[in-house]
Chains A and B, each alone.
Chain A
Amino acid sequence: MVGIEITEKNDTVLALVLRDIPLEFANAIRRAALEEVLTMAIDYVVFYDNTTALSDEIIAHRIAMVPLRSDLAIDKYRRPEECRGSNPPEGCYVSLYLEAETGPQEELVIYSKDLKPQEDPEVVPVYGDIPLIKLGPQQRVVLEAWARLGRGREHIKWSPATVSVLTYIPNVRVITERCNLCRLCVERCPTKAISVVNDRIVVDSTKCNLCRQCVSVCEPEAIELDWEKDRYRLLIESSGSLKPERIFLEAVLQIKTKLLEFQRSFKEVFSGVGGGS
């Protein structure tokens, strides 16, 4: 039976064990988390003034990498498909404003929290303490940054997940009758998953990373290494723009939307031939 078990969950990390979900589908969720889920990120920066040592391009690139809160924005703003061209419709972009100036003796660090939302107070940097620019004496920077929804496949700045990995769950078995207790496997295991308890080799499969070094070092071939066929581990680490559990849900929704689109075009093709309805 299909099942999901949470093994770790906090503000940025979600670790799940997926049961009876085909590998291909689990991997589709993993990829969708990286590439398909919508988030807000800054895409245009208009400079009104910049006399700092950092060029406009460097500043624009740094600002674009700052994750913006997206949990409310993904339902509120238009999708990137609707925002193409030089004349995007209402509801595509939202702007943040930054203005700073230093006196003759002054130095000043500009942080991500200094990017002030103009229209929408919900779309703000997730982390306020990221240093963006440093100003020397008598320098000035004034800019407007325009954010829109986008997907990780267009540019990684829109990806809500910094890590999204699917791994096998190892299953290490020791055949006790063959084992001569030479302990070579204990020494070799890089994750210290193998230990000796009461003159028996005991393996903690949760620590194993499937490197197979124990198998290659074991003379009497007493170790069998395998992985579980019906369970996979999915780990999602969030950039902060969305909660990791939301990333998972949105990834599933994105796949569903694509399948429905596929179904619709499939029906269109066949409605002409009279094959399906």
Chain B
Amino acid sequence: MIIPVRCFTCGKVIGHLWEEFTRRVASGENPGKVLDELGVRRYCCRRMFISHVDLINEVIVYGRKV
């Protein structure tokens, strides 16, 4: 839903790289190359990026109104 702070498997912090990853991939760069350059080497961490769907943008309208 929202990018996890860390890799589920190894615990490497990955959240801070998400926005740069999506920005660069949206501008046409190769996702694998971007991950290499961001220092995301293990494939447990790489799948955190390539399998993530940012559903948060659809969920935020359903806040708890008080």
Contacts and interface: CB of A to CB of B under 8 A. Distances in A.
Interface of A: 50-54, 62, 65-67, 107, 112, 126-139, 156, 159, 162-163, 237, 239-240
Contacts of A239: 6, 11-13
Max chain A Cβ within 10 angstroms of own Cβ: one of B15, B64, B65, B66: B15
Interface string B1-35: 01111110011110110110000000000000000
B15 A156 contact: no
A156 B11 contact: yes
Interface of B: 2-7, 10-13, 15-16, 18-19, 56-57, 59-66
B2 A131 contact: yes
Contacts of A54: 2
A159 B12 CA distance: 11
A92 to B, nearest CB: 24
B10 A163 contact: yes
Contact of B60 (A53, A112, A162): A53
21 contacts: A51-B66, A52-B63, A53-B56, A53-B60, A62-B5, A65-B4, A65-B6, A65-B13, A127-B15, A129-B15, A129-B19, A130-B16, A131-B3, A131-B19, A132-B15, A136-B60, A139-B60, A162-B6, A162-B11, A163-B10, A239-B6
B7 to A, nearest CB: 8
Contacts of A237: 12
A39 B66 CA distance: 38
Contact of B11 (A132, A136, A159): A159
Given A65-B6, A135-B60, A136-B61, A127 B66 contact: no
A33 to B, nearest CB: 13
A163 B16 CA distance: 19
Contacts of B18: 131
Given A107-B60, A129-B16, A159-B11, 18 more contacts: A51-B65, A51-B66, A52-B60, A52-B63, A52-B64, A62-B2, A65-B5, A129-B19, A130-B13, A135-B60, A135-B63, A136-B60, A136-B61, A136-B62, A137-B61, A162-B12, A239-B12, A239-B13
Nearest to A111: B16
Contacts of B13: 65-67, 126-127, 130, 162, 239-240
